[in-house]
Structure 1
């Protein structure tokens, strides 16, 4: 397999001191963190053309690709796992959008670049140099498969906001000019009429003249309309904001937080969701359990707000907003959704989100409004302004084809598996092996097993006990 898909190890220039990671760590296992820190500066690469030469015959055999008629729709994705609060494990992958039924399987997302270190523009530029060159050639000339078949290629990119903004060379989501796709500013974040009005050619040639852009895009060969937002992260980040705003409502309604905290914990117990509150040591800020996607979806659909709030009216207002957002999430996942319908529903939801108060505060007919313009996040901007565009542009695939959940799962599983062993990157000089090498070798074996129809696991042999009776 090393001859078919060679592994290249590279020394990556990494900072000696890393900025602390402020987000919640994805991995907290001390053995994993220690071994990860010892591996900083070592990166692994596999050429995308080598992988294509190996997997294309498999996709032809399965009827997913047809020589002389199919185009290779290649999606590049990336993910950085927070390993403790010091370092990231960065993975860049490719998958073929042609296989719509297999996109959410981690094994169908093939690792191209792997390294522990900083999730930064400089580190990625260093690690991605061969991939950038290969993608430019694929975009221009297509893919010439060993054996004679020529395949046209169309390239796509999808990731979470941070990874996407780094690769695009744009400032972070909290900047004044924050949007990768349009010229929206923080001051007009509540607008509903923005469209994709940037082009990759313009950004590539004049990035320093475009508001918000500070570096040349790494994947400049991918058209900007093919940089697609990840519907999973839209859901996760907006539910985070809705939850935060709900807690703010509770603080406003009840000064004694112990009352509503206890109610929330009881409701979480009813939903069978592990959840707790605690105070941070240094800041005394209230923190709470970071939940996964399925748990957040369950809360969005089943959490009983009336049991938490003293004001039934306020609970109903918030519940209606949550229900409308859940409907939008379902529409994003439905390939039959039209851009026009989604745009109308999203704009209606934002109007409800920003609904002003009605009446005089001191009178009985007063109806309190919902939230402020300052509460609108970049992800809400994308939901209302750009998701409908992506639905229209990429209706052939559907937005779920650009979900990065399988990439994140793959990254998490590999880190936990290969960095837990304390002998990684240690032991005898002649036998020690980098965890990065082991990960990529494992992927090569998986490809070999798939192409040659070799099972990658064997059932344990059954044991039978025979009692011989003495007659």
Structure 2
């Protein structure tokens, strides 16, 4: 692996399990009667600095539902410098792929302890998932990891998970959109679960972009609505600003984190921004319906049937056509176009309900990747505060990544 990707580091998943399983038994999280270890694999890439990028792959036990969102309960399996790419991941993950195949087939034999059957799961953002699955990016004609939907059918609401991992593994080059063999071929496709956080973030991004397009259509003087938006952000105590890009002169604005986006979705006063109260109310109703869907995703009592119905209703509202004649008083302008539907909206409407039904014992929140992203942030801080950043004399130099992994191990021991 070092020859292929440089100064990376990895841990054997069996070693981690031999360390944490006794601790989980001691805490009552695992019991011999539990029988099965539910292991979730996740991954993410990050920019550490202007010229440094890291890719991290982690594991956690879904058996510990109350501890899943703690970064320390997501254990680093592989960490290496470089960008997210299929070839680098394939090289880095070779030992892990072998270990996961054995765990899937034979289970885990705890040293001096019990035999545990193993079920494997995968969850990450769309980019990392598509790379590991060997499928084209979200902007491809055939974009969906779970079904055969094309961009021409993106507004369809009746798609289901109609691919299988065995089919993809053996005949990926005959399946639309798939260009490489999946890396985690031992994980069934229904266990590759979408991350509700990224579903929420990317759809709110699209709703915000479409709202700005409505404002541009309403008035050509953008300074008017920009000032109104800034005042509303001040009211909500959200740091936000607009600026022009130097090279293109395109309008850009602050990229907000999840809590601020949720606050905007729930509390932003669109009537104070729009000249047309009617249009503001239309958009507000659409935002409110999406917020309801987000709440339903987080509720373990939600049924797939209920969610699918409400998601279909929301998409119908999103694509509502205009009514009446444009030159008459009874004209009601429609909402958005089919071209405005994104892959994440497709997943929300077609597949989230399926995942709710398939994984009802865990709930979708069990596949949330916010703890992985938090761990990513913590490791960036660790890189700058607690390592030599690959410095020192060449002959005595220790990889910064090895230093980070050693620091993580010491924290586990202290716990």
For normalisation by structure 1, the TM-score amounts to 0.84
Contact 1:207 1:214 in 2 (8 A): yes
Identify the range of structure 1 (238-247 vs 84-93) with the bigger mean alpha-carbon deviation.
84-93
Identify the range of structure 1 (386-395 vs 63-72) with the bigger mean alpha-carbon deviation.
63-72
Secondary structure of 1:42's aligned partner: coil
Secondary structure of 2:382's aligned partner: helix
Inter-CA distance 185–125: structure 2 relative to 1 (3 Å threshold): same
CA separation in 2, counterparts of 1:217 and 1:423?
36
Inter-CA distance 362–454: structure 2 relative to 1 (3 Å threshold): closer
Inter-CA distance 378–39: structure 2 relative to 1 (3 Å threshold): same
Which of these two proteins has the greater Rg computed from alpha carbons?
1
Inter-CA distance 85–384: structure 2 relative to 1 (3 Å threshold): farther
Inter-CA distance 189–368: structure 2 relative to 1 (3 Å threshold): same
Contact 1:424 1:432 in 2 (8 A): no
Q: Which aligned pairs between 1:108-257 and structure 2 lie closer than 5 A?
A: 108-257=73-222
CA separation in 1, counterparts of 2:138 and 2:16?
34
Identify the range of structure 1 (415-424 vs 112-121) with the bigger mean alpha-carbon deviation.
415-424
Inter-CA distance 84–367: structure 2 relative to 1 (3 Å threshold): farther
Secondary structure of 1:352's aligned partner: helix
Structure richer in helix, relative to its length = 2
Contact 2:383 2:400 in 1 (8 A): yes
Contact 1:39 1:425 in 2 (8 A): no
Shift of 1:435: 1.5
Contact 1:72 1:98 in 2 (8 A): yes
Shift of 1:40: 7.3
Shift of 1:433: 2.7
Identify the range of structure 1 (144-153 vs 36-45) with the bigger mean alpha-carbon deviation.
36-45
Shift of 1:434: 1.9
For normalisation by structure 2, the TM-score amounts to 0.96
Shift of 1:41: 2.4
Contact 1:356 1:368 in 2 (8 A): yes
Contact 2:53 2:81 in 1 (8 A): yes
CA separation in 1, counterparts of 2:409 and 2:132?
37
Shift of 1:439: 1.4
Shift of 1:148: 3.4
CA separation in 2, counterparts of 1:82 and 1:358?
48
Inter-CA distance 455–166: structure 2 relative to 1 (3 Å threshold): closer
Residue 66 of structure 1 is matched in structure 2 by: 31
CA separation in 1, counterparts of 2:72 and 2:114?
25
Shift of 1:455: 11
Shift of 1:70: 2.3
Q: Provide structure 1 residue ranges, at least 5 long, that are not aligned to the other structure.
A: 1-35, 443-452, 457-470
Contact 1:77 1:157 in 2 (8 A): yes
CA separation in 2, counterparts of 1:369 and 1:52?
55
Contact 1:177 1:183 in 2 (8 A): yes
Secondary structure of 1:278's aligned partner: strand
Shift of 1:116: 1.7
Inter-CA distance 221–282: structure 2 relative to 1 (3 Å threshold): same
Inter-CA distance 234–77: structure 2 relative to 1 (3 Å threshold): same
Contact 1:68 1:149 in 2 (8 A): no
Contact 2:308 2:349 in 1 (8 A): yes
Secondary structure of 2:123's aligned partner: strand
CA separation in 2, counterparts of 1:424 and 1:289?
30
Inter-CA distance 42–200: structure 2 relative to 1 (3 Å threshold): same
Inter-CA distance 57–412: structure 2 relative to 1 (3 Å threshold): same
Q: For each residue in 1:185-216, what CA deviation from the matched residue of structure 2 results, as whole angstroms up to 9, or x when unmatched?
A: 00000000000000000000000000000000
Inter-CA distance 351–85: structure 2 relative to 1 (3 Å threshold): farther
CA separation in 1, counterparts of 2:380 and 2:143?
31
CA separation in 1, counterparts of 2:254 and 2:348?
26
Secondary structure of 1:115's aligned partner: strand
Q: Provide structure 2 residue ranges, at least 5 long, that are not aligned to the other structure.
A: none
Secondary structure of 2:207's aligned partner: helix
CA separation in 2, counterparts of 1:141 and 1:268?
55
Shift of 1:69: 3.7
Shift of 1:67: 1.6
Secondary structure of 1:259's aligned partner: helix
Contact 1:278 1:288 in 2 (8 A): yes
Instruction: Select 2:9's aligned residue among 37, 40, 44.
Output: 44
Inter-CA distance 337–242: structure 2 relative to 1 (3 Å threshold): same
Identify the range of structure 1 (85-94 vs 368-377) with the bigger mean alpha-carbon deviation.
85-94
Shift of 1:425: 1.4
Shift of 1:224: 0.1
Secondary structure of 2:5's aligned partner: coil
Q: For each residue in 1:59-103, what CA deviation from the matched residue of structure 2 results, as whole angstroms up to 9, or x when unmatched?
A: 001111112542000000001113456553211000000000000
Shift of 1:250: 0.3
Shift of 1:424: 2.3
